[in-house]
Structure 1
Amino acid sequence: MKKIIHQGKNVKRFREMQGMQQAQLAYELGIGWTVNEILLLEQQEIIEDSLLKQIADILQVSVAVIKNFEEGKHIYIMRKASSDKLRFPVVVPPSDN
């Protein structure tokens, strides 16, 4: 049986890794989004694909990363942009070696 990845928890993980507050994500998503809406979103096991795409774009990761990330099974590589602002980490699956 395939383990279900909790997409809401992953959204929260990636948002927090960027130092982004729930209020900022709500603002980026646009009208109708509040901190409470983000809190509820982060509790959802599965998130609608079109919304997940918007969130992934804001967090600068792929939808696949949010859908497949499992804590403890990936390595974080932190990169800096040329402006010295911390960019979102690259998530690399562990090697089989």
Structure 2
Amino acid sequence: MAEHTIHLGEKIKRFRELLGVKQDALAVELGDDWNQKKVSMLEAKADIDPAMMEKVAQALKVPRQAIENFDTERVVHICSNTINSYDHAVGISNYGTFNPLDKIIELHKEKEALHERRLKEMEALYKGC
């Protein structure tokens, strides 16, 4: 099977999307002479000047090499292995579910108990005056 290589503009696009950055936001970071359309045109280029790659990397706050070496298959592999490992590490499995609302309720009850203890301490303090 032939390896499909992604051109630099496509790597910028995929990296930007993974970071959740819109083209407009990247354009703002790149400077006044940039706009969404210009970012789109940059992402369509196969070859990009190293200085431009550095500028994009700084705007995205990542190392230039991270963009240049970006490999979708490796990202998917790492994410799938990390998610599975994390799920098992924290006890989440297909056999049970974790409800975040239960944790919020538990924390609220702890907060109420702390508040009650502080009120009692304050009452005891004022009785001594």
Given the two structures, how large is their TM-score scaled by the length of structure 1?
0.68
In structure 1, the gaps of 5 or more residues are 78-97
Greater helix proportion: 2
Number of corresponding residues: 76
Q: Percent identity?
A: 35
Say which structure, 1 or 2, has more relative contact order (CA 8 Å, 6+ apart).
1
Q: Name the amino acid aligned to 1:38.
A: V
The structure that has the greater radius of gyration is: 2
Please list every run of at least 4 consecutive aligned residues from structure 1 whose deviation after the TM superposition is greater than 6 angstroms: none
Q: Say what the alpha-carbon RMSD is for the aligned residues.
A: 2.0
Q: For residue 21 of structure 2, what is the aligned residue in structure 1?
A: 20
Code of the residue aligned with 2:30 in structure 1: it is L
The structure whose residues are more often strand, as a share, is 1
CA distance in 2, matches of 1:6, 1:63: 14
1:1-97 counterparts in 2 under 5 A? 5-74=6-75, 75-76=78-79
CA–CA separation in structure 2 for the residues paired with 1:32 and 1:46: 21
Do the aligned residues in 2 keep the contact of 1:5 with 1:68 (CA within 8 Å)?
no
